[in-house]
Amino acid sequence: MTTNNNNDNATANSNVPDNVKGCIQLDPYLRPFADVLSERRYLADEWNYKLTNGNSTSLTDFARNAYKEFGFHVNANNKDITFKEWAPNASRAFLIGDFNNWNESSHELKKDEYGNFEILLPPVKNAESGELQYAIPHDSKVKLLFILPDGSKIYRIPAWITRCTQPDEETVKQYGPGYEGRFWNPNMEIYKPTSANVAPTVGTSGLKIYEAHIGISTPEPKIGTYNEFTANVLPRIHDLGYNVVQLMAIMEHAYYGSFGYQVTNFFAVSSRYGTPDDLKKLIDAAHKLGISVFLDVVHSHASKNSGDGLNFFDGSDHQYFHSLQSSGGRGEHPLWDSRLFNYGKYEVQRFLLANLAFFIDVYKFDGFRFDGVTSMLYSHHGCGFGFSGDYNEYLSRDRSFVDHEALAYLMLANDLIHEMLPDSNTIAEDVSGYPTLCLPRSIGGGGFNYRLAMAIPDMWIKLLKECKDEDWEMGKIVYNLTNRRHGEKVVAYAESHDQALVGDKTLAFWLMDAAMYTDMTVLTSLTPVVDRGISLHKLIRLITHSLGGEAYLNFEGNEFGHPEWLDFPTQLNGQSYHYARRQFNLVDDRLLRYKDLYQFDKYLQHCESHYTWLNTPQAYVSLKHEVDKVIAYERNGLIFIFNFHPTQSFVDYRIGVEVPGAYKIILNSDRSEFGGHNRIDEAKSRFFTVDLPWNGRKNYIQVYIPSRVAIVLALENRV
C-alpha cells in the first residue's frame, strides 16, 4: 500500500490549532507542542481583547490613555493641575511638597472603589501680577503621604512621576539619600524638534547597533550628560556608519553602580545626565543624522527601594509584584536582589504598557531592547539552568516551569510597539533560545524581531582564556556563529557591556593586556603581542558581523579596542570614576594604534551598508580547514575568506564559488590604515572563476591569503 505523504501532512496540519499553524509550518518539530503554543498565544490574545474592550479600541489608545490619566497633568488654558495615583492598600493619601510647605493635611486626595486616589489643584493668583498660575511651581519637590490601615505613615515618590533628582547634601543630612520627585512643567521651555523627529528607515542594510551608556561616554572621570553625548559621541557614531544607537540606563535608577538595571522610577529619565528636554534634543539630533534610537527597557524586575521606588509602594508587598509571602518565591529575583512584577495583573499591564507608549510618544524612541527576558520566561529565571535545546525545556505543560503570564505580557508589549511603530524593531535579551520568541505574533510567535546571540561573545572569551589561537577549531567557531533557529533573527556581537564589566575584560584586553599601556604607540616597532591582538581583533569582528546573525551590535569604545574594564564608583573603589568612562581621546591621538582599529570598524560598517549582508539569508560555508585554519563562505553574493593561521600565508589558495565571474577585493583587513602589513596588492588582485566544482560549489578561484588576514570579495560589476 502506497502512503500519500501530502495527505498525511494535510491530516497532521488539520489537527494543529489555527493560531499557531504558521509556527508549525516553519518548524514541524514543534508539532507535538502545538497545543501548548496555542494556549500561550491564546492567553495574550485574550488579554489584548479585554484591554481593548473587545477590540472596540486599540491597544495604543489603552496605553496612551493610561499615562495621560495617571500622574500629574496640567490644563494650559485654565492652569488646573490634576493628579491620580493607584494605591489600593492605603486608607488615605495627601499630596505634599514645596508648594504647600510640606503641609501633611492641606491637600488630601479622594479615593475611589478601585483604589485610585485623585485631586484637582485649581490655579492660584500671582501675588505681584495677579495673574493665574499653576498651584505647583515648575521643578518644585513633591511627594505622597499615605496613611495605612494601621494608622502608620509612609512617604513615596509618585509611581508615574516624570522627573526625579538626587537630593542635595542638606536634604541627605535631614532625610537620607533617597531621590526626590519633581513637578516637571517647563511650559514654554519644552523642546521643539526642528526635524520631523521620526524614525529613520534602515533601508536594505541591516541593523548596526552602537550600544552606549550616557554616563560613561566621556574621557573625563565623571558622569557624562545628554548634551555632551549629543555633541561629542553622536558624530562619532554617524562617522562610523552605525544606524542605531541603543541607550542604556535611561530609566531613572537611584544606584549608579547598577548600570541602570535597578530601576526606581519607570517614567522618569535619569536626571544624572540632564533634563528630559536634553534627551529629546539628543534623539532629535540622532534622527537628523539618520540614526534610530533604541531604549534598553527594563520590565523584567524593579529595584527593592521603597522610599524612591515601587517596592511596598502602598504599604503592601503585592501591589505591582508577586507577594513575598504567598507566591512561592516569584516575588523577588534570587540573584539580582530585586522585585518581580505580577504580569497577570491588569494594573501591572496598564503600568508597563503605558510606560512603552510614553517613551514612544514623548521621547520618540524608535525601538526597544528588552532586558532580562530569560528571567521573565522561566520560574527558575535561568539561574543555574543549562539549556540543552530540548523542546521539553521550553514547551512543557508544567506551568511551574515557564511563566505563561510573563510570556503573554511580552507578546502584548510587542503588539503595542508594532502597532504604534509598524517599522520598529524589538530585541529580546534571551540566552535560552526559547522557540518562536522571534516569530511574528500573527503566526503564533512571541513578536520580537531579534534576540541577542549571547553564546557568541561567550565563545570568544572562552577561546581567548583557554586556547592559543593556533589551537582554535574552525568547525566549532563556525558552528557557534551559525547555530540559530531558522526564521528567527539574531543580533550578533563579539562583546557587549557584559564582557567589559569588572570580573572580565574587553577582547582587546584579553588579546594584548598590559601591552596596551606601553606598546600601542607608532613611535616604537610593532610588537608580536600587539600585532597579534590587532589582527585577531579585526578578524573576530568581521566574522561575527558577517556570519553570526542578521544584525550586529558593538559596545561603545570596543570598536577601537578600548583598554581595561568597566567599574562604577562604589565604596570598594573609593567612589572612583576612573574606570567608568570611555577614553575616546585614545582614538584621536594619531600616534596611537587605536585609530587603526577605529578605521577598520568604520570601513566595515560602511562596507556592509553598501554591499549588504546583514538581514540576508544565512551564509553558505564551503570551507572549515582545521590544519590551514581557513574559513570561507558566501553570503548575498559576497565571498568571505579568513586565514586564522598565526604564521602560514597561502598563495593560490583554492576557494569554492557558486556564481562565476571576475571578483575583486572590497575589504582587506591587512591594509596599513587598519594596522595591517599591506601584503596584498589590491590593484592587481582580480580573481577569475574556473568552471570546475570545489568544496560543493560549481566553480573555484585561487587567492593569496596572508596569515591572520581576512578578505571579502564581490563580483566586479558590483564594485
- Which residues are catalytically annotated? 371, 429
* Cell representation of residue 58: 486599540
Question: Going by C-beta distance under 8 Å and a sequence separation of 6 or more, which residues neighbour residue 458?
Answer: none
Q: Which residues, in sequence order, are bridge partners of residue 643?
A: 630, 709
**Pairing outcome for strands 71-74 and 81-86:** antiparallel
**Pairing outcome for strands 638-643 and 630-635:** antiparallel
* Cell representation of residue 561: 579596542
Rounded Cα–Cα distance for residues 566 and 574 (Å): 15
Question: Going by C-beta distance under 8 Å and a sequence separation of 6 or more, which residues neighbour residue 11?
Answer: none
Rounded Cα–Cα distance for residues 313 and 460 (Å): 43
Degrees, nearest 5: CA angle 411-416-421: 125
The amino acid present at 303, given as its one-letter code, is: S
- Determine phi and psi for 556, rounding to 5 degrees: -50, 135
CA 370 to chain CA centroid, Å, is 6
Q: Which helix (H) or strand (E) holds 34?
A: helix 34-51
Q: Which residues, in sequence order, are bridge partners of residue 265?
A: 252
The amino acid present at 60, given as its one-letter code, is: T
Q: With H, G, I as helix, E, B as strand and everything else as coil, classify residue 586.
A: helix
Q: Which residues, in sequence order, are bridge partners of residue 321?
A: 341
The amino acid present at 235, given as its one-letter code, is: P
Q: Which residues, in sequence order, are bridge partners of residue 332?
A: 339
Length of the chain measured in residues:
719
Rounded Cα–Cα distance for residues 361 and 193 (Å): 13
Task: Reduce the secondary structure of 54-77 to three states and give it as a string.
Answer: CCCCCHHHHHHHHHHHCEEEECCC
Task: Reduce the secondary structure of 290-359 to three states and give it as a string.
Answer: CCEEEEEECCCCECCCCCCCCCCCCCCCCCCECCCCCCCCCCECCCCCCECECCCCHHHHHHHHHHHHHH
Rounded Cα–Cα distance for residues 60 and 416 (Å): 6
Task: Reduce the secondary structure of 162-215 to three states and give it as a string.
Answer: CCEECCCHHHHHHHCCCCEEEECCCHHHCCCCCCCCCCCCCCCCCCEEEEEEHH
Phi-psi region of 234 (alpha: psi -120 to 50; beta: other; left: phi over 0): alpha
Burial class from Cβ neighbours inside 10 Å (0-12, 13-18, 19+) for residue 170 reads: exposed
Half-sphere exposure (Cβ direction) of 307: Cα atoms closer than 13 Å: 9
Question: Going by C-beta distance under 8 Å and a sequence separation of 6 or more, which residues neighbour residue 393?
Answer: 387, 401, 432
- Determine phi and psi for 296, rounding to 5 degrees: -80, 95
**Pairing outcome for strands 110-111 and 116-121:** antiparallel
378, 335 Cβ separation under 8 angstroms: no
Phi-psi region of 433 (alpha: psi -120 to 50; beta: other; left: phi over 0): left
